[in-house]
Amino acid sequence: MPARIEPCLALLKSKPPVGPQWTFEVKFDGYRLAVHKELRDVRILTRGGHDWTHRFPLIEAAALALPVATFILDGEAVVLDEQGRSDFNMLQRSLGGRGGKEVSRDAIFMAFDVLYFDGHDYTQTELSRRRNLLESLLPFETTGAIRLSEEVDADGEALFQAACDHGLEGIIAKDRNSIYRPGRLGDWLKIKCVQSESFMIVGYEYSNSARGGIGSLLLAARKGDGWIYVGSVGTGFKERDAIALRATLDKLKAKTPTVDYPTRRKDLVWVQPTLIAEIEYRAWTGDGKLRHASYKGLREHQDNAAVYELV
């Protein structure tokens, strides 16, 4: 039995794929985990290989109760809200917040693949057969700490729209003929329900290793006559744009920040609130910060760009 299997990761796409080889699932907003069971021993590993068994006692107990001696399940730890949607903030709170080390009594495991079963490695077996095996191990039910992620045979575009309409994170498309290959190779695709708004750039985090020296942009939304810090964005930059943006920001340096910022750090450069950035993001965190933010580009005042306003 392998000590660990490097996970297959979903490649981000803007639209669902078309074709009979694709099957779909709801995309969960949680922590990717692998549940290993070998006789009476259970290990729950994070995507990076850290052992978090002690942090998910309900999932551990459910794995021990399954009537199979050995298996490795791939899936996602989630906490569901009242509407049955996975909520990342609720999951983080159950674990003691970001960087916390508490035990979660609310998380469940949504299993979407089986990689090892009853002494046999199934990573070189096509997904359709792995899925049949998983369904025999986990008959579909809506209770318990280990549940089956439902596979949906539907039109991808219609399913994606329905997922967005219901406030879900998005959908996952999988090639039913693919074997289990580590990395983002395109066998699995993720199509996310993203939002896009304009935010004011109030500073940046300097980094020697980042493009243009910008590790991330510090963003603010308008509230009344002032600005409220709403988080940072460190992805989506093209090198040429980052270099030009850095040169512009350095001409707008300010001695003091225009927002309340939680910590004092020497690598932060504050600027006058002049440049407006278009930002894609998935959602808001519980403390009012952007989640999964990605930089799209600068907006001009002349194109009627309205900075996001907090109510």
Return the exposure string of 218-241: e unless at least 16 CB atoms fall within 10 Å of the residue's CB, then b. bbbbbeeeebbbbbbbbebbeeeb
Containing 120, the helix (H) or strand (E) segment is: strand 120-121
Phi-psi region of 287 (alpha: psi -120 to 50; beta: other; left: phi over 0): alpha
Residues 211, 243 contacting (CB under 8 angstroms) = yes
Q: Is 101 a catalytic residue?
A: no
Cα torsion 50, 51, 52, 56: sign: positive
Pairing of strands 31-38, 41-46: antiparallel
Spatial distance between the Cα atoms of 264 and 268, rounded to a whole number of angstroms? 8
* Tokens read off for 243: 């270099």
CA angle in degrees (0–180, nearest 5) for 163-166-169: 55
Spatial distance between the Cα atoms of 58 and 144, rounded to a whole number of angstroms? 9
Under DSSP, is residue 138 helix (H, G, I), strand (E, B) or coil? coil
Q: Residues 27, 37, 174, 192: which is the catalytic one?
A: 27
Q: Which residues pair with 233 in a beta bridge?
A: 217
Instruction: Tell me which amino acid residue 203 is.
Output: G
Residues 207, 267 contacting (CB under 8 angstroms) = yes
**Other residues' Cβ atoms within 10 Å of the Cβ of residue 138:** 19
Residue linked to tokens 């796409």: 13
Spatial distance between the Cα atoms of 221 and 198, rounded to a whole number of angstroms? 8
**Catalytic (active-site) positions:** 27
